[in-house]
Amino acid sequence: MTKLFTRPSSMSDAAIPYCPGCTHGIAHRLVGEVIDELGIFEKVIGIVSAGCSVRSWRLYRFDMVLSAHGRSPAVATGLKRALPDNFVFAYQGDGDSAAIGLAELMHAALRCEEITVFMINNAVYGATGGQAAPTTLIGQKTTSYPSGRDPNYAGYPINMAEVIASVSKNSYVARVALNNIRNILKAKNAVIRAFKTQEKGLGFSFVEMLSACPIGWQMTPLDSLKWIEETMIQQYPLGEFKVPKGLEP
Amino acid sequence: MHGLQILCVYMPRSCNRDGDYQPRKCAVGRLMGQIDLLSGNEALAEGAIRVGCRFFYGYPITPQGELFEYMARHLPEVGGTFLQSESEIAAISMIYGTAAAGKRVMTASSGPGISLMQEGLSHLAAAQLPCLIVNVMRAGPGLGRVRPSQADYLQATRGGGHGDYRVIVLAPASAQEMSDLAFEAFTLADKYRNPVMILCDGMLGQMMEPVDLADPTDPNQLPPKPWAVTGAKGRRRNLVLAAPYTDDELIALNLELKSKYASIEAQEARWESQFLDDAELALVAFGTSARISEDAVLKARMEGLKVGLIRPITLWPFPRQAFNALQKKIKAYLVVEMNAGQMLEDVLLAKRGDVPAFHFGLGGGWVPSTQDVYRELVEVYERKGTL
């Protein structure tokens, strides 16, 4: 019997620990595929922190660190400053990066630390049961604002990719979506370009990934993918927001 | 009296673990040119550089400024990294990253900054990462003020953050010891894979004294750390985790930590004893309070009073061993602290029998004079037979 489709060799056989229809697994796979293809397995160090992806260190075979909620850009800074020849990436959720860890992410971006941050934006806190995130859309119902996000009461959603692009002078910044094959292929390209930015020492790299959370959104998996396409992308447009000098177009 | 005081101040000494008072031997014999006049903050910073620390992350706060700025000036000279972080939370997280990479790394802060670092400290303890945190204490609570204080004793010795963990806490009492204990701190941190804190105050930080600096260590010659994350090349992958995967693994981690802390308690307690052979009253004090108490004890001895001093050098593990031998002679303890009574709790746990322990001290940045301590000491001494 021949295996036609396997996990990337940088990934382990551990069970994917996510809910049905969640697209975290796609993001993990893209990171694993790119690490394989760039041949950087022996030099890569990944950092995860609190949130749905807290256990994702089990999915990879390379060196991993589990840090405090929101602090992974600062932990990545400490790692990269100590090991400038290694590849260091942080895998964050939207609460991790845009709420509790906003300062750490913002200042890593301002310093143009030569690290890569992958930010999963699913517009809710998934691990704790679907509460509102900074990225929750206006009107979106969550367990902490059951009647929907009222901007006059709970403020407006934050567009992290645009924010990072506006403050980080030397950086690669992109937003991608994991809702269909076309967008997933574009997402993989962004992951490649983020690691290339780090490889060439061109600065900070940041890829925001719009990701489905059917359980948190109280939708079917298919409706979730449709909601990303029809609603989320309206608030969070896709594309590259910043490309550093020296990275081919 | 004055002569004795000067002798006391100018005789740098090393810490010891057997309880005997041992002046640092080389200080007298060395040529004058090899002994530097340094502030405590500078001595600590230079000591850390000389023991191979090449990374410092910190956020400005008084009264640790000289230490921070010494590192900013001198770390680049030896190819080190100094980075001013956006907060103490970020600084301790950067430490987490650099310590995970297996490098010697430190920070310095004070009161409110140390409180912000407690999140990171708990994670460092869970992940068993070695590092040095210096708390140049200021008077709290809240923002407080910057006068010398020992108000963070309980925060430091009880772990400080959430969860069941301990931090090794060292308390220098001179510029010499600020430097010596920087060496000790990194050695202990690496040996036990545990965060170490040096607890001092602005008086020790800014007081200038002769310091006999140790010879520099080459950071590349330090013992290897096979557990560090450096990229999985030619080995199985390494993991640095602030949380295990399963409940059983968490129980196993806590048992491992418990047994590690027990061996630290058994092996690493350090203290200094003075005049305890025939003492009927023992003062117990650390850091700046110990320096002041030392003068008061000398004065008492010159007056013929049988008074001694126990100076804990490790605050955790607290040197309970120092109290074991004293059971029969001692009639009272007097704990002198620049706080409202914190180490007093450890003395009450360590002392044997019905011997009473009194406290002398205030919070709020109050620094006792030698006379203050002497008056209190005489009062307790005169009542000791009737207690």
Q: What does the DSSP assignment read for A81-123?
A: HH-TTSEEEEEEEHHIIIIITHHHHHHHHHTT-S-EEEEEE-S
- Cα nearest neighbour of A100 on chain B: B89
Q: Which of B267, B290, B305 is the last residue of a domain?
A: B267
Structural domain includes residue B256:
yes
Residues from B in contact with A at Cβ < 8 Å: 55, 57, 81, 83, 85-87, 89-91, 93-103, 105, 119-120, 123, 127, 229-234, 237-243, 245
Over range A59-63, report the average pLDDT: 98
pLDDT at B9: 38
pLDDT confidence of residue B20: 42
Contact B119 A68 (CB under 8 A): yes
Closest Cβ–Cβ partner in B94, B233, B238 for A77: B94
- CATH code of the domain occupying A24-242: 3.40.50.970
- CA B99 vs CA A90, B207, B240, B268: distances in Å: 17, 31, 10, 22
Q: Are residues B140 and B191 in the same domain?
A: yes
Flag if A66 and B99 touch (Cβ within 8 Å): no
User: Could you tell me where the DSSP H helices lie in chain B?
Assistant: 2-10, 25-29, 40-50, 65-74, 88-100, 111-116, 118-127, 153-157, 175-192, 202-206, 247-267, 287-302, 321-324, 343-350, 370-383
C-beta of residue A77 within 8 angstroms of C-beta of residue A86: no
| 3-class DSSP assignment, residue B232 | coil
pLDDT at B386: 65
User: What is the interface pTM, i.e. ipTM, of the complex?
Assistant: 0.97
* pLDDT recorded at residue B18: 42
Residue B275 confidence (pLDDT): 94
| CATH number of the domain bearing residue B54 | 3.40.50.970
**Looking at B220, B236, B267, which one is the last position of a domain?**
B267
Tell me which of B94, B124, B129, B236 to substitute to probe the interface with A (most A C-beta atoms closer than 10 Å). Answer: B94
Give the separation between CA B99 and CA B89, rounded to whole angstroms. Answer: 15
pLDDT band at B32; cut points 50, 70, 90? very low
Query: What DSSP state is assigned to residue A140?
Result: -
Question: How many percent of chain A have pLDDT more than 70?
Answer: 100
- Say if residue B165 is in the same domain as residue B185: yes
Answer whether B83 sits within 8 Å of A81, measured CB to CB. yes
Q: Are residues B147 and B134 in the same domain?
A: yes
Enter the pTM of the model.
0.94
Same-domain check for residues B174 and B220: yes
B156 and B102 share one domain? yes
User: Can you give A175-194 as a three-state secondary structure string?
Assistant: EEECCCHHHHHHHHHHHHHH
The residue assigned the tokens 């990944």 is A46
pLDDT in tens, B99-146: 999 999 999 999 999 999 999 999 999 999 999 999 999 999 999 999
For chain B, the distance separating the N- and C-terminal CA atoms, rounded to the nearest angstrom, is 30
The number of distinct structural domains making up chain B is 2
Q: What type of residue is B108?
A: A
Residue B12 clears pLDDT 80, i.e. is over it: no
Kindly state whether residues B246 and B286 are assigned to the same domain: no
Residue B160 domain flag:
yes
Mean pLDDT of B3-20: 39
What does the mean pLDDT of chain B come to?
Answer: 91
Structure tokens at A21: 């229809």
B40 lies in some domain: yes
Contacts of B120 in chain A (CB under 8 A): 68, 71
Beta bridge partners of A176: A209
Q: Is A222's pLDDT higher than 70?
A: yes
For chain A, list residues whose CB is within 8 angstroms of any CB belonging to chain B.
41-45, 47, 54-55, 57-58, 60-68, 71-72, 74-83, 86, 103-104, 106-107
- Chain B residue with CA closest to A67: the answer is B242
- Three-class SS state of B123: helix
Contact B86 A103 (CB under 8 A): yes
- C-alpha distances (whole Å) from B304 to each of A96, B259, B275, B280 are 65, 45, 12, 12
- pLDDT, tens digit, for every residue of B192-233? 999 999 999 999 999 999 999 999 999 999 999 999 999 999
Q: How close B205 gets to chain A, by Cα (Å)? A: 27
Partner residue opposite A83 with nearest CB, options B94, B96, B230:
B230
The string of pLDDT tens digits covering residues B133-159 is 999 999 999 999 999 999 999 999 999
Q: What is the chain A residue with the closest CA to B121? A: A68
DSSP assignments along B36-68, one per residue? EEEEHHHHHHHHHHHTT--EEEE---TTSHHHH
Domain harbouring B319, CATH code: 3.40.50.920
Residue B27 covered by a domain: no
Least confident range of A103-107, A110-114, B383-387: B383-387
Q: Could you please report the per-residue DSSP string of A43-59?
A: GEEEEE-SSGGGGGGGG
Cβ contact B245–A55 (<8 Å): yes
Query: Which residue range(s) make up the domain with B84?
Result: 35-267
With bands split at pLDDT 50, 70 and 90, how would you rate the model's confidence at B362?
confident
Please tell me whether residues B243 and B259 are part of one structural domain.
yes
- Interchain proximity B93–A64, CB inside 8 Å: no
Closest chain A CA to residue B103 = A82
* Residue whose pair of structure tokens reads 């199985």 in the numeric block: B236
Residue-level pLDDT at A1: 84
Question: How far is the C-alpha of B205 from the C-alpha of B40, rounded, in Å?
Answer: 4
Task: Calculate mean pLDDT across residues B303-311.
Answer: 96
Cβ–Cβ < 8 Å for B51, B183: yes
Dist. CA B330–CA B307, nearest whole Å: 9
pLDDT for residue B27: 39
Q: Is B232 close to A79, i.e. CB distance below 8 A? A: no
Distance from CA of B320 to the nearest CA of A (A): 34
Q: Are residues B284 and B179 in the same domain?
A: no
With an 8 Å Cβ cutoff, are A78 and B95 in contact? yes
First and final C-alpha spacing in chain A: 42
**Closest-CA distance of chain B to residue A44, Å:** 6
Phi and psi dihedrals of B273, rounded to 5?
A: -115, 140
The pLDDT score that the predictor gives to residue B19 is 42
Nearest CA in chain B to A61: B237
What was the pLDDT predicted at B16?
39
Share of chain B above pLDDT 70, in %: 90
**What does the pLDDT read at residue B385?**
64
Going by pLDDT thresholds of 50, 70 and 90, the confidence category of residue B327 is: low
Q: Which two tokens stand for residue B223?
A: 């013992």
Where is the domain boundary, B267, B298, B325? B267
**B99 and B248 in a common domain:** yes
User: The tokens of B115 are what?
Assistant: 């409180």
Q: Confirm whether B15 is domain-assigned.
A: no
Shared domain for B277 and B360, answered yes or no, is: yes
Over residues B317-339, the mean pLDDT reads 91
Residues of A with Cβ-Cβ distance to B86 under 8 angstroms: 103-104, 106-107
Minimal-distance CA residue of chain B relative to A109: B86
Q: What is the mean pLDDT of residues B242-259?
A: 96
Are residues B251 and B233 located together in one domain of the fold? yes
Residues of B in contact with A106 (CB under 8 A): 86
More confident residue, B35 or A226: A226
Pick the residue of A11, A72, A79 with the most B CBs within 10 A to test the interface with B by mutation. A79
- Tell me how far apart the alpha carbons of residues B347 and B282 are, in angstroms, rounded to a whole number: 11
Q: Which of A57, A62, A79 sits opposite B101 (nearest CB)?
A: A79
Please answer yes or no on whether B237 and A62 come within 8 Å at the CB atom: yes
Identity of residue A140:
Q
